Structures are given as C-alpha cells and as structure tokens.
Amino acid sequence: MAMGVVLGINAVFHDPAAALVIDGAVVAAAEEERFTRRKHGKEPVPFSTWELPVEAARWCLAQAGMGAGDVDAIAYSYHPRLAAAAAGDLTADGWEDLRTLYVRRAPLFLGAALPGLDPQRVRFVPHHVAHAASAYLAAPCETSAVLVVDGRGECTSHLAGRVVDGHLQTLAMQRLPHSLGLLYESLTDHLGFRRASDEYKVMALASYGEPRWLDALRRVVRTDGGGGFVVEPIEWTTFAPRRHADDAWGAPHADLAASVQARLEEMLLSLARWLHARTGNGHLAFAGGVALNCVANARLQREGPYETIWIPPAAGDAGTALGAALFVAQQDGDRIHHLRTSALGRGWDEGALAAAILGARLPHERPARLADAVADVLARDGIVAWFQGRSEYGPRALGHRSLFADPRRAANVERLNVVKGRERFQPVAPMALLEDAADIFDGPLPSPYMLFTHRVRPEWRRRIPAVVHVDGSARVQTVDRHAEPLLAALLEAFARRTGVPVLVNTSFNTAGRPMVDDPRDALECFGSAPIDALVLGPFLLRRAACWSVAA
Ligand SMILES: [Fe+2]
C-alpha cells in the first residue's frame, strides 16, 4: 500500500485554498481568505493567477508537523495543457494566455513561496476532475454518477461522468463559452452584486419574483441532446435595467432573477436525467460552484432521478484543492478515506483561547454548564457568537464559527443582517438536531452541510419566523449529536427554555469580511458588532453595559 503526502492547491480563478492529504485521509484544508482576511482571497482576474494560497499551505503543513520537503506530490487544480492554445499575445482573449503562463510557472512560484518544496513534484489535475474528485472520492456513500457544473475550468464548464471501480469515466463535457455558471455570474453582475461571490444573493432575490421570462430563456439556454448545452449571449437590459450596488431593486430585477434561477433548475434537471439514463444507478456526486445553489439542489433532489445527492461542503473552487489532492493520492495507490466533517481548518486549545482573552483584558466566565449559560442568553434574545473547534472548509458556517439567535423573533433577521451588513432580503438559516428536523422541515435529510433548502412545515412557520424565507423555505443544517455533542447540548438547552428545538445560524463575520478564523478575529468582531455574548471554547464573554458615546 502506497503512503503519500499530497498538498492540494487551488489558485487559478478565485477562492484560493490548500488541503493536505496523508495516506489517503484529509488532515487539513483551509481557504486563504481566512488567513489574509481578504474575502475570496483575491480578485477573480487573470492577473491574480500567480497568487498562491501560501498561508493556507504553510498552515496545512504545520498542522501535520511537516515541512515542504516532506511533500511527495503537489496537486494543482488546473491543467495548462487543456487551456486554449496560446495566441502569442498575452493580452488576447481577456488575458487568457497570461493565466496559462502563470499556471505553467506555478511550480516555480510554489518552490519560492514554500522553501524546500520540489517544483518537479507539482502535478496538474484538470479543474473539473478536481471538482469531481472532491465529490465522488470524498462522498461517505457509494456514488455512481458524477456531475460538475461551474463557471469555467480550462476550456469547459461542465462534466458528466460515472465512477467505475472507484475511477472517473467522463461521459460528457461542455466546452466554453457555453456556461451555466458564467450565465449566473453575469446576471449577478447585472443585478449590482459582486460576480463570483454574491450569486447566493441572486438566488435569494429570485424568491421575490415571478419567472415571467422563463420561455424567452428556454430559447437561448437549452440542452443539446448529447449531455451538454447551449447558452447564447443574453442582453440582460432587454429584461431589466442594470442595477448599481446602492440602488434599490425592483420587480423586474426579482423577476429576472426568478427566471434565470428557474431555467438553471430546469437545465440541471435535464443534465441529471441524461446522466441517469446512461448510468442507471441512483446516487449522484455533485460539485462545482453551481452546486452551492441550494434551491436548485433541493429541486434536483425533489424532481430529479436520483435517490441521493451528495455535495461536498466546499463545492466551489476552494474545494478543488482537496479534490485534486485526493485524486493524486488515489493515482499513487492510496486508499481514500471519506470525508466526515467540514471542520478541517484551524483550531485552538483552551490555553491558547485563555491567552487571547487575557491578552485583550476582557472579563470572562468559564461556566460549568456552557450550553445552559449560552441558551439563557439566546432565550433572552441575545445574539451569540460561537467559536468552537476547527474552522469550516467551504463557505458555510456549520456551528464552529457561527452567530446564533432566537428563531422565534422575525426581527432577528434584520438584526443579524445589520451585524453582517447584508441585504435586507437575505434569509438566515436554521440549525436543528437531526432527529427533530423531519418534524419541522420537509426536504433532504440529513443536511449536515446546508446545501439544500427545505419547506418549513406549516405548523412551524409562525413559531420560527426568523428562519422562514419569503417562499416558505429554509436552508437547514442538521446536527448529528454524536459528531457534535456540544451543539446538540446547546439546541436541547434552548429547547428546554423555549419549546423550540431550532436556532438561527449564520456565519460569524461582519460586512465584507471572511468568516472569523482565529481567536483574535473573533475578539475584534465581538468588539465592533452588536453581539451580546462571545463563546470561545469553554469561555463566555458578555457584552458590558452600554454607555452612551454621544458627546
Ligand atoms: Fe470551478
């Protein structure tokens, strides 16, 4: 049995990240933004392709007690040979050649950034193979079909395949410029949001609109009968005026979002049915940035041909660091271990947390019954920042770097959106114990990574208004009490006080910032936002009485 150390790197488009796989098991994975505090790590432009997830990579190695010289292979989630042939002009085609040149130089950049690393050991993994591997190799269940849908890789935007004897067999790929992910990104930009970042806002806005341009979109966005699709150029202003970041949105914007969202869902259903017809089995592994669209995922589960759909928590480009590493580890003969958690980032022991609190000279307690003490604050309508264990890999806070609130009060959506500087129309999500979830929510369960929306059962809608979106849906995270005993204790303590076994859970960060990662980020965020209590491991810090700052 081969035993190897593989460092995975995503650096090409956005969300640079690193992952470390040892003997087929992931030991660390993190996004660069959590270290540099720059949301999404870098600008999504060709000039930034040289920027590597250096801090994330260094930390992954340190976490394993290794140096760069110990790495057997570096798996880089993009293959320059698959990119369009060089035009001889670095500026041509949106600087595409510059991107490819930087990728070719990546081994040297990596060797310079991580002294001791052997540039010869860098292996390029096709972008969509890396996405696919992040799903079919990491899935904790048997999967037979694999679907990847994103903005773009080297020259494609989609992959459909199947797993044969543990290995990927590709059945269809869609070449650029046709891209469902780029279609959605382009709409995101037209609606005044940040491209390759705020697509989830478009998804939320869609719930406020009617898909009245669905027929028009069906004519220009359509499948080709061979597992691929066509996306013709679309002039968005035909449907709704361009919105700028600070403008109010109107019905045409919401209707356009609803129309594109509906067409995306139909397209995913068609692609999934085509794939199912060729593979027959009922288990799908799904990844790529589009797989973060939890409304579409829920419809795919509800109306599509698959019994189970497994999506990795880092389904976007950050996850290709792990996918590429798993793929290379398997190539080298390692048996791949399934993913058990998204908590693959940094963690601190009690002593380090105490030192951070003492360093800030903040009053704190160490309650004997932490869950009860925190539930008291929540039941009295406090907002609690919760920092426990290792941070999450992927865009969702799953109870390790979370903000919690009482779901019984609708006004808490607005309170949290103020803390986070989010749009008012954005929903916040519920967290519930797995055994309680089916009584309250209708949809795919378990849902440990918050990648599907659920219908809130009618009898619960008025009891937990803060987590019910305008269309009656909620994006639930289910908590397995064996995997997350402290979260389970908190949910139970809150239920004992309120009769409601649900908490509002949103990511612990303020406007425009990545999720907090280290204790200092947490203290800074607590110090600058209207959060009532901060929990750092076993310690509880309460907001002091408020003095007026008026002159
Ligand atoms: Fe991608």
Q: Which residue has the higher pLDDT, 212 or 94?
A: 212
Span from the CA of 291 to the centroid of ligand 1 (angstroms): 10
Is pLDDT of 24 > 80? Answer: yes
Span from the CA of 125 to the centroid of ligand 1 (angstroms): 12
pLDDT of residue 548: 57
pLDDT of residue 546: 58
Span from the CA of 203 to the centroid of ligand 1 (angstroms): 19
Give every strand in the sheet of 441-442, ordered side by side. Answer: 441-442, 454-456, 473-474
pLDDT of residue 91: 82
The one-letter amino acid code at 37 reads R
Residue-by-residue DSSP string for 474-530: E--EEE-TTT-HHHHHHHHHHHHHHS--EEEEEES--TTPPPP-SHHHHHHHHHHS-
Average pLDDT value for residue range 423-444: 92
Q: Which of 14, 40, 158, 400 is catalytic?
A: 14
pLDDT of residue 424: 73
Span from the CA of 150 to the centroid of ligand 1 (angstroms): 5
Is pLDDT of 70 > 90? Answer: yes
Residue-by-residue DSSP string for 216-285: HHHHHEEE-SSS-EEE----GGGTS----TTSPP-HHHHHHHHHHHHHHHHHHHHHHHHHHHHH--SEEE
Span from the CA of 286 to the centroid of ligand 1 (angstroms): 12
Average pLDDT value for residue range 283-294: 97
Is pLDDT of 86 > 80? Answer: no
Average pLDDT value for residue range 298-323: 97
pLDDT of residue 551: 45
Is pLDDT of 293 > 50? Answer: yes
Is pLDDT of 550 > 70? Answer: no
CA 286 to chain CA centroid, nearest Å:
13
Least confident residue range of 169-178, 245-254, 441-450:
245-254
Q: Which residue has the higher pLDDT, 392 or 197?
A: 392
Span from the CA of 127 to the centroid of ligand 1 (angstroms): 7
- Rounded to 5 degrees, what angle do the CA atoms 87, 89, 92 make? 80
Instruction: Identify whether the C-beta of residue 322 lies closer than 8 Å to the C-beta of residue 19.
Output: yes
Instruction: Identify whether the C-beta of residue 392 lies closer than 8 Å to the C-beta of residue 398.
Output: yes
pLDDT of residue 96: 87
Instruction: Identify whether the C-beta of residue 109 lies closer than 8 Å to the C-beta of residue 57.
Output: no
- Reported confidence tier of residue 522, pLDDT bands at 50, 70, 90: very high
Average pLDDT value for residue range 481-492: 98
pLDDT of residue 418: 85
Is pLDDT of 504 > 90? Answer: yes
Share of the chain above pLDDT 70, in %: 98
Average pLDDT value for residue range 109-113: 96
Model's pTM, two decimal places?
Answer: 0.96
Average predicted confidence (pLDDT) for the chain: 94
Beta-bridged to residue 473, according to DSSP, are 455
- Give the Cα separation of 374 and 363 in Å (integer): 16
Average pLDDT value for residue range 10-18: 96
- Give the Cα separation of 312 and 287 in Å (integer): 7
- Give the Cα separation of 75 and 48 in Å (integer): 19
E strand or H helix at 113: helix 92-113
Span from the CA of 105 to the centroid of ligand 1 (angstroms): 20
Span from the CA of 98 to the centroid of ligand 1 (angstroms): 18
14 is catalytic: yes
- Give the Cα separation of 546 and 551 in Å (integer): 15
Neighbours of 273 (CB within 10 A): 14
Q: Which residue has the higher pLDDT, 88 or 274?
A: 274
Helix, strand, coil abundance in the chain, percent, nearest 5: 40, 20, 40
Beta-bridged to residue 28, according to DSSP, are 20
Instruction: Identify whether the C-beta of residue 122 lies closer than 8 Å to the C-beta of residue 76.
Output: yes
Span from the CA of 9 to the centroid of ligand 1 (angstroms): 13
